């Protein structure tokens, strides 16, 4: 070739190449490359280890998780690049030999069988809708070359890993690995890597959940190719070929579904939300809750929240018993629903009273009918127990003692302290804090209660639960370390039993559980709260629509589930308890006055009780309401030589002085004969003027004689009734049958009391300031 012809040839080649470049640039401008944006990536909420809990599909209903080559298994990348596109690292987006092979196959069979597509071409088809035609193949080639011009090989590979089709709504290897195999793409075996490498070739035909045999055949073909090309050893391929093709039923994950929905709503633009949830524990407890609720009425739901005390991170979040089940209101998240807390607030009240030096754990309280300015609380079982310690009152969840303590603490102050600790009680519209809040006369959330109960494991410091790794830790002072320790000790020392049988796990020595139950008015909410060194657990059971569930209450319904959940949790502080604070001490105190045994004369120390106290303060027994003469419980009397009481200005010169320790008047119906005698006031000496010490004058029951025997008439449908009235008082009188409240009467007005069962019965009348009378009846069955 002459030099002139060579120059013309080079010029023509340059013109052609230049024209191609110009045309390519023009086409690139006219038909710009549209890369998928973040909106094309599904939002996924994952557990702390990366396990997807719930995926939220994009606007097209596709579940797709973004992933890079650095995040997937090297085995998968090896199988993909070896089997699908060995020349990926070097070709410009198109492999001419593969295209010729595909064209020859199409001419031979009359239709496109193998398009000879490179990974880049497959990415082009994944991100742009391109028909499976010859014209479509040309467009696909153009788009592949655009991708190679604009992106690096690493970027193109990442697009493939995220957008490759895997059947149904699943795109990308990470979503496919979780959907079919239940594991991340970073942990694939040889067999699993080969399966996921070949599946995009024909995702509908090779879906392992539907066509396991076809999927296995395709997988084994990849395995043989990897062996023949020397990528994997004979032993590796032989072992991989033995592995069966086992795929889960294709579904989007739905663990901690309501938590995921909550976090997705909080940050809808986030593509990946990392929670604090422990995935295996979450699934296990969800299954346990579902099994437990299957024994309860169909419309019952449940919520369980488990928090790590060290970090306040939620490890388990069960917002419903059955997600999306309309019968169980599965769309309602009961972890954050406003519900009446029942008696679950009582531990905080006693803790605050301890901090105020109002009580010790052994202090005397009175469980008897009382009137608090028109508010007359009763107990859950409608029975009263008379003199009780603070510890007994809390463990038995007695209502009257709790209201009594709240009356001393102050309802406004109690509600404000709870709010500072993270429990924002919601009162009825227009209502102000009152004594009913301690019995559930307000509403709170399970997550608030769990955050507050963590204070019993964290030296009095509460904090809201954390649901994501980015949620801040927000500690809040609720109680002193000493008060928190004493209350927890009381709750942990309470044996748990249902119908007399100890609950499974309730006697665990490795992780003693401090627990408290609660039931709202009308059996609408059954609660059980628990604290160990490691965990704070909250359980709620009820109907989300607020319908009562008679017979379902905390100690019977929620407490067994609480202990079951606690038994499933790991123990990291085995056999330990929170260290006893230095300001907590134990002393022996005397009832009825409340002072220490060392400081109380033996005659005034009717009963001895051990009591935890804070500092060196030993709180005395509460002063009685409405009685000023012996408000302190200790009365100093002047008596004559016959032991008769002398009032002011009365009596001989040689009168002596004695001190009487008086029990609270409302406790007297439950006292022994000896305690009553020791507390009784001597009679006034003749000629002495009456004094105020007789304010609590005795009363008498009329209508039925003491010790009488009664018989129910034969064939009577109604139970036997007696009509009684109280003489000697104009105050309101509370009537009890065998310790259970039956009703009230005004002064001497009569009241009718039913005697339903044969046997011995006691009828007790208690007047407002403590005077009481009691009679015993014997009831016979009909002849």
pLDDT in tens, 336-394: 999 999 999 999 999 999 999 999 999 999 998 887 887 888 887 778 899 999 999 99
Q: Give the model's pLDDT for residue 627.
A: 59
What is d(CA 77, CA 85) in angstroms, rounded to the nearest whole number?
11
| Nearest in space to 627 (alpha carbons), one of 694, 675, 699, 727 | 694
How is 294-351 classified by DSSP, letter by letter? TTS-TT-EEEEEEEETTTTEEEEEE--SSTT-GGGTTTS-TTS--B--TTTTHHHHHH
**Is pLDDT at 508 greater than 60 in this prediction?**
no
**Which member of 343, 389, 549, 679 is catalytic?**
343
Cβ atoms of 670 and 385 closer than 8 Å: yes
| Nearest in space to 754 (alpha carbons), one of 772, 771, 768, 740 | 740
State the pairing for strand pair 772-780/709-711.
Answer: parallel
Q: Give the model's pLDDT for residue 506.
A: 54
State the pairing for strand pair 732-737/751-755.
Answer: unpaired
Reported confidence tier of residue 112, pLDDT bands at 50, 70, 90: very low
Q: How far is CA 519 from CA 234, 344, 393, in A?
A: 66, 8, 16
pTM of the model: 0.82
What is d(CA 67, CA 130) in angstroms, rounded to the nearest whole number?
24
Tens-digit pLDDT profile for residues 599-627: 999 989 999 999 999 998 899 999 877 65
State the pairing for strand pair 732-737/759-767.
Answer: antiparallel
Q: Going by C-beta distance under 8 Å and a sequence separation of 6 or more, which residues neighbour residue 254?
A: 53, 54, 323
440: left (phi over 0), alpha (psi -120 to 50) or beta: left
Is 84 in the active site? yes
What is d(CA 66, CA 678) in angstroms, rounded to the nearest whole number?
81
Q: Give the model's pLDDT for residue 134.
A: 77
**Which member of 73, 84, 185, 192 is catalytic?**
84
Q: What DSSP state is assigned to residue 505?
A: T
What is d(CA 86, CA 78) in angstroms, rounded to the nearest whole number?
10
Measured in Å, how far apart are the chain's first and last C-alpha atoms? 138
**Is pLDDT at 515 greater than 90 in this prediction?**
yes
Lowest mean pLDDT among 109-113, 447-451, 472-476: 109-113
Is 343 in the active site? yes
**Is pLDDT at 9 greater than 80 in this prediction?**
no
Q: What DSSP state is assigned to residue 359?
A: -
**Is pLDDT at 505 greater than 60 in this prediction?**
no
**Is pLDDT at 768 greater than 80 in this prediction?**
no
Beta bridge partners of 272: 44
SS3 labels along 658-688: EEEECCCHHHHHHCCHHHHHHHCCCCECCCC
Average pLDDT, the chain: 86
């Amino acid at each position: 070739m002459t030099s002139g012809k060579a120059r013309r040839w080079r010029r023509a080649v340059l013109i052609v190449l230049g024209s191609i470049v110009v045309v390519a640039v023009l086409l690139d401008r006219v038909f710009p490359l549209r890369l998928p944006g973040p909106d094309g990536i599904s939002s996924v909420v994952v557990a702390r280890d990366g396990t997807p809990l719930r995926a939220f599909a994009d606007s097209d209903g596709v579940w797709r998780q973004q992933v890079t080559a650095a995040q997937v298994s090297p085995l998968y990348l090896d199988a993909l690049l070896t089997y699908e596109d060995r020349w990926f690292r070097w070709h410009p987006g198109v492999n001419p030999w593969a295209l010729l092979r595909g064209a020859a196959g199409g001419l031979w069979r009359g239709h496109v069988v193998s398009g000879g597509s490179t990974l880049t071409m497959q990415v082009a088809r994944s991100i742009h809708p391109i028909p499976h035609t010859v014209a479509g193949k040309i467009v696909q080639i153009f788009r592949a070359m655009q991708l190679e011009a604009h992106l690096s090989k690493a970027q193109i590979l990442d697009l493939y890993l995220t957008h490759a089709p895997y059947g149904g709504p699943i795109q990308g290897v990470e979503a496919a690995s979780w959907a079919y195999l239940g594991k991340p793409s970073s942990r694939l075996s040889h067999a699993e890597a080969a399966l996921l490498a070949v599946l995009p070739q024909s995702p509908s035909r090779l879906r392992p959940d539907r066509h396991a045999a076809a999927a296995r055949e395709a997988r084994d073909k990849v395995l043989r190719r990897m062996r023949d090309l020397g990528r994997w050893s004979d032993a590796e391929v032989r072992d991989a070929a033995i592995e069966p093709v086992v795929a889960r039923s294709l579904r989007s994950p739905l663990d901690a579904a309501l938590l995921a929905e909550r976090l997705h709503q909080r940050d809808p633009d986030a593509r990946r939300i990392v929670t604090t949830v422990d995935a295996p524990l979450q699934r296990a407890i969800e299954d346990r809750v579902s099994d437990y609720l299957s024994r309860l009425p169909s419309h019952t739901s449940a919520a369980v929240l488990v928090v790590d005390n060290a970090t306040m991170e939620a490890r388990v979040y069960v917002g419903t018993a059955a997600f999306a089940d309309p019968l169980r209101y599965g769309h309602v998240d009961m972890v954050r629903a406003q519900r009446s807390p029942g008696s679950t607030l009582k531990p905080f009240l006693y803790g605050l009273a301890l901090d105020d030096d109002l009580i010790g754990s052994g202090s005397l309280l009175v469980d008897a009918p009382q009137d608090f300015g028109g508010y007359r609380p009763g107990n859950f079982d409608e029975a009263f127990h008379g003199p009780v310690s603070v510890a007994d009152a809390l463990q038995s969840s007695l209502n009257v003692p709790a209201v009594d303590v709240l009356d001393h603490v102050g309802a406004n102050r109690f509600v404000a302290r709870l709010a500072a600790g993270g429990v924002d009680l919601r009162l009825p519209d227009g209502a102000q804090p009152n004594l009913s809040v301690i019995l559930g006369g307000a509403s709170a959330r399970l997550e608030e209660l769990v955050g507050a109960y963590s204070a019993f494991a964290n030296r009095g410091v509460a904090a809201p639960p954390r649901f994501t790794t980015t949620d801040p830790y927000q500690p809040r002072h609720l109680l002193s370390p000493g008060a928190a320790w004493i209350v927890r000790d009381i709750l942990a020392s309470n044996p748990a039993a249902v119908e007399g049988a100890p609950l499974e796990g309730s006697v665990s020595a490795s992780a003693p559980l401090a627990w408290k139950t609660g039931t709202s008015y009308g059996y609408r909410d059954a609660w059980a709260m628990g604290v160990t060194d490691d965990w704070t657990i909250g359980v709620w059971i009820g109907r989300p629509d607020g319908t009562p569930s008679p017979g379902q209450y905390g100690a019977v319904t929620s407490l067994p589930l609480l202990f079951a959940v606690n038994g499933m949790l790991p123990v990291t502080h085995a056999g330990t308890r929170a260290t006893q604070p230095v300001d907590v001490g134990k002393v022996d105190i005397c009832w009825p006055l409340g002072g220490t045994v060392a400081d109380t004369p033996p005659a005034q120390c009717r009963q001895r009780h051990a009591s935890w106290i804070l500092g060196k303060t030993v709180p005395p027994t509460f002063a009685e309401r409405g009685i000023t003469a012996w408000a302190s419980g200790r009365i100093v009397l002047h008596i004559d030589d016959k032991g008769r009481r002398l009032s002011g200005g009365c009596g001989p010169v040689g009168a002596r002085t004695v001190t009487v320790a008086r029990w609270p008047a409302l406790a007297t119906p439950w006292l022994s004969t000896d305690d009553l005698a020791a507390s009784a006031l001597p009679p006034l000496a003749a000629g002495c003027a009456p004094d105020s010490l007789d304010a609590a004058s005795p009363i008498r029951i009329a209508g039925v004689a003491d010790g009488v025997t009664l018989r129910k008439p034969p064939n009577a449908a109604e139970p036997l009734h007696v009509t009684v009235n109280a003489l000697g008082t104009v105050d309101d009188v509370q009537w009890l049958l065998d310790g259970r409240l039956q009703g009230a009467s005004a002064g001497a007005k009569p009241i009718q009391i039913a005697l339903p069962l044969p046997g011995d019965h006691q009828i007790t009348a208690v007047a407002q300031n403590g005077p009481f009378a009691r009679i015993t009846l014997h009831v016979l069955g009909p002849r």
